[in-house]
Structure 1
């Protein structure tokens, strides 16, 4: 698959003939999707670090919820956005929890990749040691990595709403 990816991007030999200026990784907003993102970022870091250093790689943020009534649809990327949308579309909006990109139709997908697209750039300082970075995140230093994750983990708790 990585060979096919290189061919699609036209980077088999070098970055000079990169076919697209922006490469967007679009995965499900779950643990499996995060793992796929990590594998792809690791691939680019290891074999094409200049793609990241030159600002060509992005992560597409995909909505977790769709809140709608008969007049309006709002795509929500967090619990807070969902609560705000529910408040705005009162009295009884329909709420859908997306479990993955496969649940979103192509017509609906167009709604959140237009002007309001949410892209997070994958950034890397030009002086960063890629070898050290890969060793830290992908190596065998489990205790150090675990400490980092615990100290930097952001958890968004589902809010149980009483009706």
Structure 2
């Protein structure tokens, strides 16, 4: 078996390539990714009270996550540029930090797992940027795909 047939993103010589998806069927596809930003008690208190000096940290993170999903092919070298039909980003303030979830949807030839992961990660980075004066020790953790639907493999759930 040649290297090109073992690894879909490598050609027969081993060079990186973007996979040709033009012959794949267009299907409705979605992906859900989650992550967590671990924060200090003081930072959680400031988020809940709306007392973050830079402003509405949760709103900024939500918008950043949506924008990031749309820019994923610019950041991940072999990711296909596809039309996104929906991006939802939720942030849930908990006692030890903020849980972030992104749901991304399309009707296209390839999935949106990378867009969902990028969305969560950039939302987390933006949140840290907004609260770093309060909590310089904030940590992003547990970024992962929870579920995907569509395509020939159908539904996958963690």
Give the shorter-chain TM-score range. under 0.3
Higher relative contact order (CA 8 A, sep 6+): 2
Q: Name the one with the larger helix percent.
A: 1
Give the greater-gyration-radius structure (CA).
Answer: 1
Q: Name the one with the larger strand percent.
A: 2
TM superposition score normalised by structure 2: 0.25
